[in-house]
Amino acid sequence: MNDALSSEADVSSAAGIPTSERILSTSAALFREKGYASSTTRELAELLGIRKASLYHHIETKEEILYQICIASLTRIIDEISKSIPAVVSQDDLRTMIRSHVAEIVGTRDFHAVMLTEMRGLTPDHLVEVVALRDRYEELIRDVVSQSQALGILRDDFAAKYLMLCLLNLLNWTIFWFKPGGDLDAEELGDLLASVFLEGASQMSTLGPERGL
């Protein structure tokens, strides 16, 4: 685990990328692995190959790094998912949206995992701002769900809010176990999660012949 972190740091260091640009991604990897509160500026400096004090030429506080990671995560995913949603959605669009979300969270895994699990380490002011952004993302999904219900694409026996939360449940816990390079790649994972959300896990025959359309 430490090997993964240090080798990653070595790569960007060897590539001549400036320290200021390496801080966020190196911190995201560190915070994801050890948690924000348990990650020290010592460790971060060591991963970056500089002394602890040199960090403070680039940042003002450790919390500022967490804040930047959360903002980067949310602006990225809001942008990516917004692009994938047309004015009027179809079931195929839902599938595309789900696959985009999965591709984004596993493709920029460190940033999203830290945003999703370490948000409480933010100062009150930053927390308010980040929660507002997260709420904006959830509203984006909820609106798509709501429209899909009105169009008869999604079931409407539960409020859009709860269908949205079910969907994010299904997608987001993935950050805790998915490892790139395993026997299921990111694209297959997206297909699986989209299919389980839309069609469920029951065998087709118990649900009728239309399964898989």
Partner DNA sequence: GTCTATATTGTGATAGAC
Partner DNA sequence: GTCTATCACAATATAGAC
Residues that bind DNA (CB under 7 A): 18-20, 39-42, 45, 50-54, 56-58, 60-63
**Partner from DNA, a copy of itself, none contacting 124, C-beta within 5 to 8 A by type:** none
Compare residues 18 and 181 and give the one whose CB is closer to DNA: 18
Position 162: which residue type? Answer: Y
Look at the alpha carbons of 150, 156, 160, 164 in this order and tell me if their dihedral is positive or negative: negative
Q: Which of 39, 90, 92 is nearest to 69 (CA)?
A: 39
* Distance between start and end Cα atoms, the chain: 42
Q: Minimum CB separation from DNA for residue 155, in Å?
A: 47
**Partner from a copy of itself, DNA, none contacting 56, C-beta within 5 to 8 A by type:** DNA
Q: What is the DSSP string of 80-115?
A: HHHHT--SS--HHHHHHHHHHHHHHHHHTHHHHHHH
**Partner from DNA, a copy of itself, none contacting 206, C-beta within 5 to 8 A by type:** a copy of itself
**Partner from a copy of itself, DNA, none contacting 41, C-beta within 5 to 8 A by type:** DNA
Residue 67 contacts residue 136 (beta carbons within 8 Å)? no
Position 69: which residue type? Answer: I
Structure tokens at 10: 């070595």
Compare residues 55 and 105 and give the one whose CB is closer to a copy of itself: 105
Residue 108 contacts residue 76 (beta carbons within 8 Å)? yes
Compare residues 8 and 138 and give the one whose CB is closer to DNA: 8
- Residues found near a copy of itself in the complex (CB under 8 A): 34-35, 37-38, 91, 117, 120-121, 149, 152-156, 158, 162-163, 165-174, 177, 184, 192-193, 196-211, 213
Q: Minimum CB separation from DNA for residue 170, in Å?
A: 34
Q: Minimum CB separation from a copy of itself for residue 124, in Å?
A: 12
Position 186: which residue type? Answer: A
Compare residues 104 and 110 and give the one whose CB is closer to DNA: 110
